[in-house]
Structure 1
Amino acid sequence: MTDIEADYLVVGAGAMGMGFVDQLLTDSDASVVMVDRRHAPGGHWIDGYAFLRLHQPAAYYGVNSRPLDSGARDEQGPNAGLIELASRDQVVGYYDAILNQRFLPSGRVRFFPMTEHEGGGEIVSRLTGERRTVRARRVVDATHLSPSIPAHHTPDFEVAPGATCIRVNDLPALARPGADYVLVGAGKTGMDTALWLLENGVGPARIRWIMPRDSWMLDRAHYQPGQEHLGEVLDTLANEVEAIVESTSLEDLFERLEAKGCRLRLDPSVTPAIHRCATVSKGELALMRTITDVVRMGYVRRIEPGRIVLDGGEIATRADTIHIDCTAPGINYRPTRPIFEDGRVTLQHVRLCQPVFSAALIGHVEARYGSDAEKNALCPPVEPPSDTVGWLRMLAVELPNRTRLITNPAINDWLAGCRLDPLAGRIRNVQPTDTHELMAFARYMQNAPAAIEKVGRLLAEITSSRT
């Protein structure tokens, strides 16, 4: 058994683990041992399906020290006119470059792939069985929010002999002219799969979409990088807090958000229950709306040749139909815990739907601030939302913290230089003549305190109605 000494043992080399270590290298002289059970950095991207892409602009993803995007706009397809979306292969290659061109050459990072963490400082190679003990000041858990992904997901429904049900990862290798397709699942994976089929020539009449619950979606156009788009981003944030202040219930809130252009849905006649930060362009939404055979009969219980059994009944299919399992939940929802504890850092979200920014901020706070109490005050964790109530709970933590960060001079200075923060640097560049941006920011700041209060009241009413 070999002993290794380091300041930090980081368990997990996915997006959050890489983001934390990158910021630690920038802000300190700490040494790091990273371990990951996969063969390379990149986390779930390594096992992603071939057509997996970021839903958000690539400018907001990756590590703080190096851009992922080229700044180019998509010139064709449903994302035309908007900043490019990085592909699976781009993201995997990016993290490989970060490891081999930044982390390892620093001399302060050692990376052990194909290695399991067995608790404490104990690690073991999955290839050789060799055991090592890492003596570190802190163990950093970058796996707390590790996702459940399509490549490894086992569906909750039965598949009878003779029925074809495949994982999304297997779809591009499938060649069956004239087949009918059934998508099972309404989340981001289902959206990606629907768009991939349509963009590759499958007619919408050959696609059936089983959707137990609909999703609220964000409009990607409202979150574009670049100074020229700041006014639209600030308008969106200001409209959100105004909608919260004006709302009388959770249902009324989302109707107001939709009316202000802050939320999108697939079918205007169906009220969504899911809110997981799925982000689409209006072109993608229009394409998905061409699929008119949408089944809303609850969850699938059993798939048989020629028949699907659901909570609300059964539907007939062709015996040779290809069913595609899009039900992997993504993030594994686990209770939040303090991010900074004695001997431990647990990476979690501190800002709405921005895991890589959260990891960078946690790395900065870890390197530059003193006690765990002080650090936790700056970084209260927010639980990623799974539904509309979860989104409201997340806002109850995230809205006050957003105000706390932008009014903290030292943190705000860091935010202004952080490429993963979509606002601070651009706000600092606003000129006195930029009246649109100034008015939108003033609207946000004016309504934020009342929005925080209203979120608390709405949550209390929801809790009361359920008891």
Structure 2
Amino acid sequence: MTPKNTDYLVIGAGAVGLAFVDTLLDKDPDCHITILDKHARPGGHWNDAYSFVALHQPSATYGVNSMELCPDRVDEHGHNAGMFPLAKHADILAYYSRVMSERLIPSGRVAYHPLTEYTGAEDGEHRARAILSGEELAFSVRRKIVDATWFQTSVPSTHRPGFEIAQGTPFAVPGDLPHLWRDPGNLPEHYCIIGGGKTAMDTAVWLLEAGVPADRIDWVRPRDSWMFNRKLLQPARHRIEGLIRFQLDLVECAAGSQDGDAMFAKLGERGTMLRIDPEVTPQMFHFAVISEGEIALLRQITRVHRGQRVAKIEPGAMTLGDERVALPEGTMFVDCTASAVPFEQRLNTQPFFDGGRITLQLAQTPFVPYSAALAAFVEANFETDAEKNNLLPPAPLTDSTLTYPYAVMANLMSTAILSANEKTNEFNAKSRLHPTGPAVAQMISEGDERLTALAEVGPKIQALMPDVIRLGMAAKAIHEGA
């Protein structure tokens, strides 16, 4: 088998791999890139997601650097009213198809192999297999292999439930719900959502907005979660005041707290963090972003089961721990227990750059596409692994209230490192994926009056950093001992 030659072999054509390739094309105009992906089209896990999923964050900073994702306008209705748009499932898949067909392949320097599985290296060559035909492929990689699959994203349609399902139990994943209309004679009389994360929240909102009464929904939430308030995380060029307040709230609440729970309590009082039940103190934080409108909807559901995970489901009942709980006859169980990012990956961080291999992780949490694009820029503009890794220490993927201060500290340290380097500072000022860089650069060029408030942020953060580091290091010890 004659190997195909390429400079970079990228495994994965999702948000991570495509953000990396898009930036590398611009910053290294002589390289050739080959992309392998198991899916039939670009977009990675978005191909497997439920049809009513949408971005949690505004679309202005998602995707790839070279192409806008959504029109820059304000939503006028629904639970995102008054805020900038969140790309929908169909929008995202269409976007990534355009990125591939209008940007990457026309460059003449990208080869794309969909429905292809990377199988490993052998005798100095990298091997892959065409999934449908079984054809074996070989690649000679002149520079590096790029792993864009580190996140191991899990969605309901590809997830295996961790509980027993008795024969004959009405069972669905979120993606099944929009198709219930096809069998109108057998619509569920009742629903039970299993899971406490954002997928479960999306599913609950969808059912309520589809007209299902709240008293016909049970919800198993083993742990409640804190969430970012979306109104503060709008595009910087339009509402940088919210981002300034958000950053200062994080730092001030971290500096004035003895642990992560106290920090979240203060953020909740300020409205920076939101929770569904004001009487329950959440222990989970998975970086979800939510609107106050969604919270109002979710609070309508009062049949909530906490503290135990589902061990078994059966027609008209479920087992929580050792307790069997009866449910209305004909209840359909909806499995929302897949974790978009398996948090066990927190134990598997490694250097971004290691000889002939690049492992794309988080440079700043939770900015996934930005981190990948930044890694491409660093790869193209710096020589040694040592200087590259000094610029990009992997950011922690924390998952609880007690460990989140570690992520806050790490992000602030990363910002300081990148700002101190002339090249990365310039990249951030131009990167569409950076949450504030281009907006601040534009404000400076225009002499925007909001610069006065922005100029006060740095000194305030610097003054509070010793206390932020104190709390962050304590959270780091908890995170690494988990």
From 259, 270, 281, the counterpart of 1:271:
281
Measured in 2, the distance between the counterparts of 1:177 and 1:320 equals 9
Query: Against the structure 1 CA distance between its residues 297 and 455, is the aligned structure 2 distance closer, same or farther, given a 3 Å change threshold?
Result: closer
Partner residue, 2:472 = 455
Partner residue, 1:146 = 152
1:448 deviates by 3.4
Partner residue, 1:17 = 17
Three-state SS of the structure 2 residue aligned to 1:394 is helix
Measured in 2, the distance between the counterparts of 1:203 and 1:230 equals 38
Does structure 2 retain, via aligned residues, the 8 Å contact 1:399–1:452? no
Measured in 2, the distance between the counterparts of 1:324 and 1:433 equals 50
What are the residue-to-residue correspondences of 1:135-174 with 2, within 5 Å? 135-136=140-141, 137-174=143-180
1:409 deviates by 2.5
From 454, 463, 475, the counterpart of 1:437:
454
Query: Against the structure 1 CA distance between its residues 459 and 378, is the aligned structure 2 distance closer, same or farther, given a 3 Å change threshold?
Result: closer
Deviations along 1:250-306, whole A, 9 cap, x unmatched?
Answer: 221111121222211111111111111110011111111111111114100111122
Three-state SS of the structure 1 residue aligned to 2:402 is helix
1:360 deviates by 0.4
Measured in 2, the distance between the counterparts of 1:27 and 1:122 equals 27
What are the residue-to-residue correspondences of 1:308-327 with 2, within 5 Å? 308-311=318-321, 313-327=323-337
Three-state SS of the structure 2 residue aligned to 1:328 is coil
Deviations along 1:86-126, whole A, 9 cap, x unmatched?
Answer: 01111111111111111111110000111110112111111
Q: Which amino acid aligns with 1:34?
A: I
Q: Could you tell which deviates more after superposition, 143-152 or 354-363?
A: 143-152
Does structure 2 retain, via aligned residues, the 8 Å contact 1:163–1:319? no
Measured in 2, the distance between the counterparts of 1:348 and 1:442 equals 30
From 120, 130, 138, the counterpart of 2:135:
130
Measured in 2, the distance between the counterparts of 1:178 and 1:11 equals 41
From 344, 359, 366, the counterpart of 2:372:
359
1:288 equivalent in alignment to 2:285: no
Deviations along 1:168-210, whole A, 9 cap, x unmatched?
Answer: 1111111445621100001011011001111111111111111
What are the residue-to-residue correspondences of 1:332-347 with 2, within 5 Å? 332-333=342-343, 334=345, 335-347=348-360
Task: Give the structure-2-normalised TM-score.
Answer: 0.93
1:403 deviates by 1.6
Measured in 1, the distance between the counterparts of 2:109 and 2:479 equals 49
Partner residue, 2:206 = 196
Does structure 1 retain, via aligned residues, the 8 Å contact 2:170–2:330? yes
Measured in 1, the distance between the counterparts of 2:474 and 2:154 equals 33
1:452 deviates by 2.3
Three-state SS of the structure 1 residue aligned to 2:84 is coil
Measured in 2, the distance between the counterparts of 1:208 and 1:75 equals 31
Q: Which amino acid aligns with 1:439?
A: E
Does structure 1 retain, via aligned residues, the 8 Å contact 2:364–2:410? no
Measured in 2, the distance between the counterparts of 1:441 and 1:426 equals 16
Does structure 2 retain, via aligned residues, the 8 Å contact 1:4–1:135? yes
Does structure 1 retain, via aligned residues, the 8 Å contact 2:236–2:243? no
Query: Against the structure 1 CA distance between its residues 107 and 179, is the aligned structure 2 distance closer, same or farther, given a 3 Å change threshold?
Result: same
Q: Which amino acid aligns with 1:119?
A: G
Three-state SS of the structure 2 residue aligned to 1:2 is coil
Task: Give the structure-1-normalised TM-score.
Answer: 0.96
Structure 1 gap segments, 5+ residues each: none
1:405 deviates by 1.3
1:441 deviates by 4.5
Measured in 1, the distance between the counterparts of 2:49 and 2:278 equals 31
Q: Please list every run of at least 4 consecutive aligned residues from structure 1 whose deviation after the TM superposition is greater than 3 angstroms.
A: 175-178, 430-433, 457-460
Q: Which amino acid aligns with 1:426?
A: A
Three-state SS of the structure 2 residue aligned to 1:351 is coil
Deviations along 1:18-66, whole A, 9 cap, x unmatched?
Answer: 0000000010121001000111110010111110111110111100111
Measured in 2, the distance between the counterparts of 1:68 and 1:7 equals 28
Deviations along 1:193-237, whole A, 9 cap, x unmatched?
Answer: 001111111111111111000111001111100433112101110
Deviations along 1:356-408, whole A, 9 cap, x unmatched?
Answer: 00000001101111101111111111232222234233334332112211232
Partner residue, 1:235 = 245
Three-state SS of the structure 2 residue aligned to 1:443 is helix
Partner residue, 1:187 = 197
Query: Against the structure 1 CA distance between its residues 448 and 260, is the aligned structure 2 distance closer, same or farther, given a 3 Å change threshold?
Result: farther
Does structure 2 retain, via aligned residues, the 8 Å contact 1:309–1:315? yes
Partner residue, 2:89 = 88
Structure 2 gap segments, 5+ residues each: none
Does structure 2 retain, via aligned residues, the 8 Å contact 1:234–1:444? no
1:331 deviates by 1.0
Q: Which amino acid aligns with 1:182?
A: C
1:387 equivalent in alignment to 2:400: yes
* Structure 1 vs Structure 2 CA RMSD: 1.8
Measured in 2, the distance between the counterparts of 1:453 and 1:27 equals 38
Partner residue, 1:401 = 414
Measured in 2, the distance between the counterparts of 1:459 and 1:39 equals 40
What are the residue-to-residue correspondences of 1:200-211 with 2, within 5 Å? 200-211=210-221
1:443 deviates by 2.5
Q: Which amino acid aligns with 2:262?
A: D
Three-state SS of the structure 2 residue aligned to 1:303 is strand
The percentage of aligned residue pairs carrying the same residue is: 38
Q: Could you tell which deviates more after superposition, 101-110 or 226-235?
A: 226-235
Partner residue, 2:463 = 446
Q: Which amino acid aligns with 1:306?
A: G
